[in-house]
Amino acid sequence: MISPNLFILYVSDPMKSAKFYEKLLGRPALGFPTYQCFELDGGLTLGLWSTEAKNFVSSGEGHRSEMAFQVNTKDEVRELYRAWQDAGVVIEQDLEEAVFGLTFVALGPDGHRIRVNLPDQ
């Protein structure tokens, strides 16, 4: 059986996006001008691929997914919300209680949705 270990966000400017995600993830990006990536815990990698890169092909449009950071407590959700606001991160959905608990959604430089929430219990 195989498991996914890379997820890729299509971005207009990988270097600009890498700077944004470096702040959120607290680690440096690796890569090239048209592709930046972050090695995450557990063998997972986040890639940022330029929509202007040679051989880039995608028939989709828009953002139909979210990247989520699941934290252990409501206080952690609130702390990240305040920290990201203070850092100038665009917040699309303010703090609210959803069916799965306290959550909010931020936006990356290309409009990718970044959710913070509690794990399903």
State residue 58's pLDDT score: 77
- Alpha carbon distance 40, 34 (integer Å): 20
**Residue 121, pLDDT score:** 62
Residues of the chain with pLDDT under 50: none
pLDDT digits (tens, 9 = 90+) for 58-80: 777 776 678 999 999 999 999 99
Identity of the amino acid at 27: R
Residue 64 confidence (pLDDT): 65
pLDDT for the residue 1: 78
CA dist., res. 36 & res. 30, Å (int)? 5
The alpha carbon of 82 is separated from its chain's Cα centroid by a whole number of angstroms, namely 17
